[in-house]
Amino acid sequence: MTPNMRQVRIDKSFHSLFFLSALVSTFAVATIAIFIFIEGLPALQSVGVGNFVTGSSWNPPGYFGILPMISGSLLSTAGAIAIGVPMGLLTAVFLAEIAPERVAHTLRTAIELLAGIPSVIYGFFGLVVIVPLIEQVFNIPAGNTTLAGIIVLAIMILPTVITLSETSLRAVPHTYREGSLALGASQIFTIFKVIIPAARSGILTGVILGIARAIGETMAIIMVMGNAPMIAGLLEPSRTLTANIALEMSYASGLHANALYATGIVLFIFIMLLNSALLYLNRKKVSK
């Protein structure tokens, strides 16, 4: 066979390989969605979607209301974002714009290491360091609180936020900086008024992925948040949607198990809303 024909064949086989990969990934998402919906629907039917989502009492097999878990997930995620995103963004600005390359390199390596630490280690750190600290600072009997979860989550989302923000800050063309500085703007003004807005879509991606990580985190949260199924308060124990599934799935049967899958459906919808938000925000930027 001629070299040219060989080339065409290799090309074609690669095309099908790519197509196959894409197909498998999409298929995996679809299967997971179908699976949790089939398993969770009996609970939604028996309890009622309204009662399930707005019920404030979780006491299987009598009461299945996941409002406490929704409030726990939302409060802990919002708190983690409120602390983690500004901190991550400022770190990224420092690494991309201000720090000398040697310093930036060392710091970046350390931050990347942070991403590789298993979540159970974060949970353990939270349990032995943050929980007792909260007990002392706020003078409360038990430090296993939503606040402990927020602090652990804020640390856990840092690598995602920093890495993605830094990459997009570095991708801003040099002419933007030079133009701004040439007009007499200070470095800080240039960073906040020119570079960050220009890198917005990448930073937003980092933030949304950070939120997704915070909302999906399970192990560390179970260890530090106390897991009491009641409406979340900052200095009280609370349970997240993921913790609810992980804590009870091992023994649950019947309607109880279905209710845990239904918790998964709610979580799934949360993640889909997040991704839609990301698509919407990034599209808006492009059309400007």
**Smallest gap from residue 268 Cβ to another protein (A):** 22
Size of the site for another protein (CB under 8 A): 39
Range in contact with another protein (rule: CB under 8 A) among 105-113, 151-159, 230-238, 264-272: 230-238
Among 1, 3, 50, 59, binds another protein (CB under 8 A): 59
Query: Rule CB under 8 A: is residue 223 a binding residue for another protein?
Result: yes
**Smallest gap from residue 130 Cβ to another protein (A):** 12
275: nearest Cα among 213, 217, 215, 208: 208
With a CB cutoff of 8 Å and minimum separation 6, the contacts of 156 are 80, 119, 122, 213, 214, 217, 220
Q: Which two tokens stand for residue 10?
A: 């290799």
Query: Rule CB under 8 A: is residue 230 a binding residue for another protein?
Result: yes
Q: Give the integer Cα–Cα distance in Å for 152 and 77.
A: 11
8 A C-beta contact, residue 221 and residue 123: yes
Task: Work out the angle at residue 122's Cα, subtended by the Cα atoms of residues 119 and 128, and round it to the nearest 5 degrees.
Answer: 145
Query: Rule CB under 8 A: is residue 229 a binding residue for another protein?
Result: yes
8 A C-beta contact, residue 114 and residue 159: yes
Query: Rule CB under 8 A: is residue 136 a binding residue for another protein?
Result: no
153: nearest Cα among 174, 113, 197, 122: 122
**Smallest gap from residue 181 Cβ to another protein (A):** 50
Query: Rule CB under 8 A: is residue 10 a binding residue for another protein?
Result: yes
Query: Rule CB under 8 A: is residue 239 a binding residue for another protein?
Result: yes
Among 42, 55, 60, 216, binds another protein (CB under 8 A): 60
C-beta closer to another protein: residue 216 or 233: 233
Query: Rule CB under 8 A: is residue 71 a binding residue for another protein?
Result: no
Q: Which two tokens stand for residue 152?
A: 């652990």
Among 165, 227, 240, 258, binds another protein (CB under 8 A): 227
Restricted to residues 165-204, the positions that interact with another protein (CB under 8 A) are none
Among 87, 228, 274, 281, binds another protein (CB under 8 A): 228
Query: Rule CB under 8 A: is residue 57 a binding residue for another protein?
Result: yes
8 A C-beta contact, residue 212 and residue 274: yes
| 3-class DSSP state of 63 | strand
Q: Which neighbouring-strand residues pair with 59? A: 63
Q: Give the integer Cα–Cα distance in Å for 203 and 226.
A: 32
Residues forming contacts to another protein in the complex (CB under 8 A) are: 9-10, 13-14, 17, 57-63, 68, 127-128, 131-132, 135, 141-142, 144, 222-223, 226-230, 236-237, 239, 246-248, 250-253, 256
